[in-house]
Structure 1
Amino acid sequence: MVAVHRPIAGTVAAALTGRRGECAVLDDLVRALRAGDSRALVVHGEAGVGKTALLDHLAVEAQGCRVARAAGIQSEMELPFAALHQLCAPMLDRLDRLPAPQRDALRTMFGLSAGRAPDRFLVGLAVLGLLSAVAEQQPLLCLVDDQQWLDRASTQVLAFVARRLGAESVGLVFAAPDVHPELAALPDLRVGALPDADARTLLDEALAGPIDARVRDQIVAEARGNPLALLELPQGITPAELAGGFGLPGAGAGGIEEQFERRVSALPEPTRRLLLLMAADPAGDPAVLARAAAVRGIGPGAEGPAADAGLADFGARARFRHPLVRSAVYRSAPADERRAAHQALADATDPRQEPDRRAWHRAAATAGPDEDVAAELDRSAGRAQARGGLAAAAAFLQRAAALTPDPARRAGRALAAAEAEVQTGGFDAALDLLDVAADGPLSDDQQAGVDLVRAELAFVANRGNDAPPLLLKAAERLARVDPALSRATYLDALSAAIFAGRLAAPGGDVHDVARAARTAPAAPDPGAADLLLDGTAAAYNDGYAAGLPALRAALRDFGAGLSTTEELDLLWMASTTALRLWDDERWDALSARHLELARETGMLSQLPLALTTRAYLLLFSGDLAGAASLTAETTAITEATGTNLAPYSALGLAAFRGDEPAAAALLDATTIDVTQRGEGVGITFAEWANALLHNGLGNYREALAAAERATAYQSDQGALIWPAVELIEAASRAEAAPAAVAMFDRLAAMTSASGTDWALGIQARAQALLTDDDAAEGHYRAAIEHLERTRLRVDLARAHLLYGEWLRRDRRRTDAREHLRTANEMFDEMGTAAFAARAGRELRAAGGSSNPRVPAPQDELTVQEAQIARMAAGGLSNPEIATRLFISARTVQYHLRKVFTKLGITSRGQLDRVLPAG
């Protein structure tokens, strides 16, 4: 086939007639890139409105910038990371600039090396790092056309990158008919219809001869301001008709594709068949196209008429003049002709070089069930999954299931496709695939697999109340075929029931699940997971103390003999168990281990829970600065990944700080969110935080009301440990002694059985509040003695505060000042402002004086600046900080320069000197 190059009608200059406002926006974007900023933008509007022309204008105007382009291709929507290959392949010489996990993720994704399938958000962070590294040489402008036809994996990654851009000098501009949901948070530029005056100007510029005024008016009216319509409608009309004013066939902007169809239908048959091959495989490889043309019996010269008509260009890459030409060619072809074209392309595609493209063509060429083709798609799914292309794997498996003649095998493939869809967030598609799987004959383990995916879907989608009953159903089925997996599923059901809490569905209450867990198959050699299951079930079935032996054994040597994956799967439950056992040492160790492993492995699905658990350990330890850093990191991850987790750590931080406006807003948002999702533990948590806030502020009746709401659900006694403490303090101050005594009995049943210093210290402090005589002093002293042996400085400071308040009421002002000053200084140092103010008021009432903390330079830092400064002071490098915050290393450096200026220092080595300890 000879190369034919002919100019295609409609230049950039013509297409930009009437687009002064749009061009100004794009020119501002380029100026921002040159100034060192980053920008993302979605250019959207109907087909033919000139989006591609605006991208071309942007590329021309971006002098001094490196321009990279990619375009969505409809037939490549199921090939994993196809668009990222287009965009990033020329940049891979900068891979060595990335941290090892990101470098390895990209190498695996691009098929350059074998390895564990990378997390898609790790791939996103790697692409952000790659673009940033390229932009170090000169500003980088990435233009992505026809975004609606990008493969799902590429869309997810590029949307992630666009949301995380900062100070890299990177521009990322998408063009699409509509704003994709993944891009909804980005700035957008809507390209509308041209005004009539500009439409007439464009039409006159495009015509070579005269035109009758009535014909001009009709074309302008029917084009409705669409530039492509203005350029295309006159194409099928003779000069005489244009000049003579004869009527036009109706077309309009909505009929541009029909106009292309008419022009294509006028071409010779060999040319139409060649265009159909191009439409079926838009990679545009001339060698593949030539081989496929030979298979279809298309001789040399068939491309000439299409090029003469301005419909296609055949050069280094065969391409259509506009995507609507491709759509018109493919849509107008009969089904048997389409299948023949795909078969020819399959025959022309090298199975060793491009097996997945060949498999997809074979599937498109197949009219009915075909196990050979289905098996080839199955193998393509495996390759896609190995590269982290779960969306593509799901598509291959879904098509394979549709082509599988054997019902049992079809059900298995549909189930595998559903599992992949759940992991990529395709929840609606997963439900449809589960219905397909359920129609087939299923073995016991397959049926259990369907139940498990349904449960996982319920839990991952909203962490709500649907999951526990579904997990129980799966666990019961698995008991016959896989006892170990059955026990693991029972433990998952308990975890889900804890989340569901007071909003549990019928049969999904934590006691229902615990009773069912009694029937779990026995473990021949119990490990940590088995002990967690048995101990948790015993605690709910037989009382708090009954679960202690197994649970303590589970935590004693936790991690021994477990793989990294197994350990990660269990660490949230293990950390939560340590908390419920009042074991602050193991809570500290296990929460630190959970966070460490989640970061090391890049398991971003685990990170929000790990960060939240660790943030609470730091809050109770009095390290509010550290908790704030982890909270900001959690926010960055949930924003970047769309993780469905209520802002628990942010709400707790606001409550500890005594920040009433922030806490109130977070409380409302959390309550609405968790109620809609059926996550009842969130209501308990939110009301506990509300009670803590008001106890700190000294609003004891408000604190009591919140604590009563927090403790209204008493089925899960482990969830009462924090709310019970707040209720007892608030009730003792609000003259509601019966409520305090009743709750103390429940609290003491746990703390006495636990026997740790934390538990006994809390018990003694609560006992002191309920003691009217001089015996209270012994309880306060015991509380301080026990809590001094823990890392829980907030609880210790509260014991000093309560003891000091009691001493002042007992008119022992000197002794009172000692403990109130200790409390005031501890609270002030930790940043628990409401409690510090309460202690200060009491200290002044006892005749002492308090010295509020003087604002320091670090108070001027933004949340992100403070977080970056803290990480840098802790020894993390810029790439390490960037990885944790899902930003680029250049953005980290940008923020550090601002930090240095505000703090009056010149290097990161001076941060320790100016930042507070801890």
Structure 2
Amino acid sequence: MLDGLVSEVEAGRSAVLVLRGDAGIGKSALLDHLAARVTTHRIARGAGAESEMELPFAGLHQLCAPFLGHAGSLPPPQAKALATAFGVSAGPPPDRFLVGLAVLGLLTDVAAHRPLFCLVDDAQWLDRVSAQTLAFVARRMLAEPLALIFATREQRGRDDLAGLPELTLHGLDDTDARALLDASAEGPMDERIRDRVLAEARGNPLALLELPHDRVDAEAVEGSAPHGPGRVTGRIERSYLARVRSLPEPTQRLLLAAAAEPVGDVSLLRNAVERLGVDPDAAGPAVTAGLLDVGTLVRFRHPLLRSAIYRSAGLAELREVHRVLAEATDPQLDPDRRAWHLARATVRPDEAIAAELESSAGRARARGGTAAAAAFLAHAAVLTPHPGRKATRALAAAQAKLRAGAPAAARDLLELARAGTLDELGRARADLVEARISFASSRVDEVLPRLLATARRLVPLDAGLARETFLDTLSAGMFAGRLASEAHVREVAAAARATTPSRTGPPRNADLLLDALTTRFLDGYRDAVTVSRDAVRAFRRETGPDEVLRWSWAASALAADMWDHEGWTELVTRHVRTARAVGALTELPLALNSRVVVHTTAGELDAAALLIAETGRVQEAVGSGFSPYGTMTLAAWQGHASEAAPLIKAGTEEALGRGEGIGVAIACRAEAVLLNGLGRYEEALEAALRASGHPQDLVVTGWGLVEVVEAGARSGRLDVAEAALVRLTQDTDAAATDWALGVQQRCRALLSDGTAADELYRAAIERLGRTRAAMETARARLLYGEWLRREGRRADARAQLRMAHALFARFGAQAFAERALRELRATGETVARRDAATVALTPQESQIARLARDGLTNSEIGAQLFLSPHTVEWHLRKLYAKLGISSRRLLSTVL
């Protein structure tokens, strides 16, 4: 398999492989074999280190460091993101996906000059952001002479490499195991010992090579050995330790220092061992014994040797080694690793070290390392001597762990905080964190009472925080939607309204949003329009990442409820960008699902499909469940009934199980869209009535009314359609945006006749054409074309239906495209069922083709779609062949 992989790369194609298996099964040996096989090419090596799993970008920097001289060739935003991630320059948290694209560009640029093989050992110990970034790169490699080979043990829970091509390694069979044991034996071996080694090794090659070094006597074989084969890894480690302990004491101390310094920095290690009073030449016996290799880097014979040495050391020895490593680490160049060593150099509370760890948390957060920031804060809390400050830091760490997608760890830190000294406000804050943890892991409708109680408790302690908590509670109420008691939501809104802001001066964004939502729930849509617009306008101005993550969903939902397509799009886009940038993985699926809905409204179904794939990978990475709002919506607009119907059914059940009424509403609306597109109007009406039946669902209610009008008009239920139009008109008149009024005019046209209908359809098309809601415009043209045909105006009908069909076909909205096609044929026009060229293109090829047609360069397309320029060019060559053209200048002709 490895030989085939090399051939692929040498032929100019990318290759990815994950080697999986137990420790000692041969993964590292295979990486060494591959390195020896490709000596004429470039090789980059990296390895995860258990002690550095929480240092952000540590593994990635190790792999990329030799190539940073090529960073100047990257587009400036990518180069800046990479420099910020690696701590070379200061700046706002870099977009995680921009960092991934920068790494992809860096590696492909290096590979363009000579094939590049990146070998990453012990990937199970990579820090999380490095693992996620490399997985991102691996999934986007295609047409570059570049290979990414990972070696990893089997993992439980989080596995960022899941889904990549893999090879699972198993033990040798009995014949090969005996042959390897005999070949490596230094002399004749007692048959009983031989059988015991074979039994304990269980085909593990490293065990077969190392266990014979153990001193195994007849007594052990006869009776005192533990029953059964035992743990192979433990036996190998004990074998290594026996060899280490046979070395001089200074050499053993040097090996421990090397095990605690996973980077393998020769000068740093030399400095540290000299501080231990050990001559650096003490490495000689370990090198002679084949346990250590000292070159440009210090490398152990096998990762198990490093872990065996480190885990077997006494606590006092480890503290001393980490102390000298901290002293040897430059506090200016590498303050975070220094703080990490200092934390391991003490078991006693130490405020100075805790403060350094807290500073490291701030730097990690600034580099987009949310998980690392949480880890630093957790260590800072443990080492803080003052009970009050300890509790405060533990509380901050719990919040960071929750944001990083680790609710279980957040609960543990919350208990640590509560065990410390918290004042009344601190205890209320702890209750708030607990409620948020529950919100992430429990039924949404069940969390509302807890959030409300916490908000009320905060009112006399911190009115500002109380109002923020009321806002969180109303956001949860919006999520619970129809599954929450309407009286309960109004109770929350009334309590929020009774709490006045604690500060003078201009209102905060959170205050504006809270006022808008309380008005919406207590006074109704019309009274809420002005305050809602003020809140959306305030949130569209630049704001901090914490505020963006905490309230973007509520603010963007309010914008959509006000039929403000521009504000809705901007807020959702920033929500996605910020969640990616700071690594807020618990927030990212929600943001991505919202962005999918924005894309579908704009007719960008290909872009929506790519985001859905990303959402799945994020949810898999954090082990979270989330109702597939975006997936249901996309499937409905695509119009594939056999695929959409099961998704909608499953999505409804998932939403009900989590108490998310908004999910039930979205599923009903998706079903209505699907059935209206298919022309199954009676069934569509039933689904649309379910979608629009609960005012608490806010924006979905309005969208559902639109489907009710169309389905009712087409199925002959004019009374139902007219009642829905009255409700819709009240709200859209108040909103008075082009999107709102355009949709209203389209719906009114459906229930009108003669000149009035004609004018309404044309006005709707004009208004909607001024917005980015391209799907709404296409539907208006379709309905107008259908009406024109029924009026006998065939020529006019053809013009509208052609445009509608072309739009729906380009969007990938198959059911609506087929509906337009049937109408076109009914006008007497002969037209092909589908554009063959369009059908032949994949969603990604379609995106690339449109962007290239619009004049973007390969680099600009790659930056937008998170692909390398080489891969973009490869896709272009493929789609040129499919479309029968020779260059991008002809794309505008065929698309």
> What TM-score do you get using the length of structure 2 for normalisation?
0.86
Aligned to 1:147: 123
Give the drift of 1:235: 2.0
Report 1:435-514 matches (<5 A).
Answer: 435-443=415-423, 446-447=426-427, 449-450=429-430, 453-454=433-434, 457=437, 464-465=444-445, 472=452, 475-476=455-456, 479=459, 483=463, 486-504=466-484, 510-514=489-493
SS for the counterpart of 1:780 is helix
Contact residue 589 and residue 618 of structure 2 kept, 8 A: no
Q: Distance in 1 between matches of 2:182 and 2:473?
A: 70
Report 1:229-628 matches (<5 A).
Answer: 229-236=207-214, 253-254=232-233, 255-298=235-278, 302-303=282-283, 306-307=286-287, 309-313=289-293, 317-443=297-423, 446-447=426-427, 449-450=429-430, 453-454=433-434, 457=437, 464-465=444-445, 472=452, 475-476=455-456, 479=459, 483=463, 486-504=466-484, 510-522=489-501, 524-526=505-507, 530-554=511-535, 559=540, 573=554, 576-582=557-563, 586-588=564-566, 591=569, 595=573, 603=581, 624=603, 627-628=604-605
Q: Distance in 2 between matches of 1:157 and 1:822?
A: 49
Amino acid in structure 2 at the alignment position of 1:222:
E
Query: In terms of Rg, which structure is larger?
Result: 1
Give the drift of 1:90: 0.4
Is the deviation greater in 860-869 or in 416-425?
416-425
Which runs of 5 or more residues in structure 2 are unaligned?
A: none
Give the drift of 1:129: 1.8
Q: Distance in 2 between matches of 1:570 and 1:563?
A: 11
Match of 1:730 among 690, 707, 711: 711
Amino acid in structure 1 at the alignment position of 2:681:
Y
Aligned to 1:186: 164
Length, aligned pairs only? 870
Aligned to 2:612: 635
Report 1:681-720 matches (<5 A).
Answer: 681-720=662-701
Contact residue 575 and residue 587 of structure 1 kept, 8 A: no
Deviations 1:642-685 (A, max 9, x none): 49775545544443453323432542453344444443222212
Amino acid in structure 2 at the alignment position of 1:500:
A
Q: For residues 689 and 509 of structure 1, do their structure 2 counterparts lie closer, same or farther at Cα, with a shift above 3 Å needed?
A: farther
Q: For residues 483 and 655 of structure 1, do their structure 2 counterparts lie closer, same or farther at Cα, with a shift above 3 Å needed?
A: same
Match of 1:164 among 133, 140, 155: 140
Amino acid in structure 2 at the alignment position of 1:546:
D
Contact residue 828 and residue 853 of structure 1 kept, 8 A: no
Give the drift of 1:362: 2.9
Aligned to 2:200: 222
Contact residue 291 and residue 300 of structure 2 kept, 8 A: yes
SS for the counterpart of 1:715 is helix
Q: Distance in 1 between matches of 2:786 and 2:889?
A: 43
Is the deviation greater in 791-800 or in 854-863?
791-800
Amino acid in structure 2 at the alignment position of 1:521:
T
Q: For residues 368 and 135 of structure 1, do their structure 2 counterparts lie closer, same or farther at Cα, with a shift above 3 Å needed?
A: same
Q: Distance in 2 between matches of 1:315 and 1:63?
A: 17
Aligned to 1:123: 99
Aligned to 1:175: 151
Q: Distance in 2 between matches of 1:639 and 1:708?
A: 30
Q: Distance in 2 between matches of 1:559 and 1:222?
A: 64
Contact residue 257 and residue 325 of structure 1 kept, 8 A: yes
Give the drift of 1:707: 1.9
Q: For residues 484 and 559 of structure 1, do their structure 2 counterparts lie closer, same or farther at Cα, with a shift above 3 Å needed?
A: farther
Q: Distance in 1 between matches of 2:500 and 2:310?
A: 57
Aligned to 1:204: 182
Give the drift of 1:137: 0.9
Give the drift of 1:797: 6.5
Give the drift of 1:820: 4.8
Give the drift of 1:190: 1.4
Q: For residues 830 and 214 of structure 1, do their structure 2 counterparts lie closer, same or farther at Cα, with a shift above 3 Å needed?
A: same
Q: Distance in 1 between matches of 2:4 and 2:260?
A: 39
Deviations 1:308-329 (A, max 9, x none): 5544455665543333333333
* 1:679 matches 2:660: yes
Aligned to 2:874: 894
Q: Distance in 2 between matches of 1:628 and 1:741?
A: 31
Give the drift of 1:183: 1.4
SS for the counterpart of 2:179 is helix
Q: Distance in 2 between matches of 1:382 and 1:198?
A: 53
Q: Distance in 2 between matches of 1:47 and 1:824?
A: 64
Q: For residues 467 and 786 of structure 1, do their structure 2 counterparts lie closer, same or farther at Cα, with a shift above 3 Å needed?
A: farther
Is the deviation greater in 30-39 or in 863-872?
30-39
Match of 1:780 among 757, 768, 772: 757
SS for the counterpart of 1:94 is helix
Is the deviation greater in 60-69 or in 639-648?
639-648
Amino acid in structure 2 at the alignment position of 1:704:
L
Aligned to 1:5: none
Amino acid in structure 2 at the alignment position of 1:147:
A
Give the drift of 1:52: 0.9
Give RMSD over aligned pairs. Answer: 4.0
Give the drift of 1:693: 1.9
Amino acid in structure 2 at the alignment position of 1:780:
A
Contact residue 632 and residue 867 of structure 1 kept, 8 A: no
Give the drift of 1:68: 0.6
SS for the counterpart of 1:174 is strand
State the identity %: 49
Q: Distance in 2 between matches of 1:45 and 1:616?
A: 41
Amino acid in structure 1 at the alignment position of 2:13:
D
Match of 1:664 among 645, 648, 673: 645
SS for the counterpart of 1:363 is helix
> What TM-score do you get using the length of structure 1 for normalisation?
0.84
Q: For residues 748 and 787 of structure 1, do their structure 2 counterparts lie closer, same or farther at Cα, with a shift above 3 Å needed?
A: same
Give the drift of 1:120: 3.3
Amino acid in structure 1 at the alignment position of 2:500:
P
* 1:877 matches 2:857: yes
Aligned to 2:51: 75
Amino acid in structure 2 at the alignment position of 1:108:
T
Aligned to 1:911: 891
Contact residue 343 and residue 361 of structure 1 kept, 8 A: yes
Q: Distance in 2 between matches of 1:125 and 1:634?
A: 16
Q: Distance in 2 between matches of 1:672 and 1:287?
A: 60
Q: For residues 486 and 34 of structure 1, do their structure 2 counterparts lie closer, same or farther at Cα, with a shift above 3 Å needed?
A: farther
Q: For residues 40 and 461 of structure 1, do their structure 2 counterparts lie closer, same or farther at Cα, with a shift above 3 Å needed?
A: farther
Contact residue 342 and residue 353 of structure 2 kept, 8 A: yes
Amino acid in structure 2 at the alignment position of 1:191:
L
Is the deviation greater in 826-835 or in 167-176?
826-835
Contact residue 394 and residue 417 of structure 1 kept, 8 A: yes
Contact residue 486 and residue 521 of structure 1 kept, 8 A: no
Aligned to 2:78: 102
Amino acid in structure 2 at the alignment position of 1:88:
C
Q: Distance in 1 between matches of 2:539 and 2:341?
A: 51
Amino acid in structure 2 at the alignment position of 1:103:
A
Is the deviation greater in 356-365 or in 93-102?
356-365
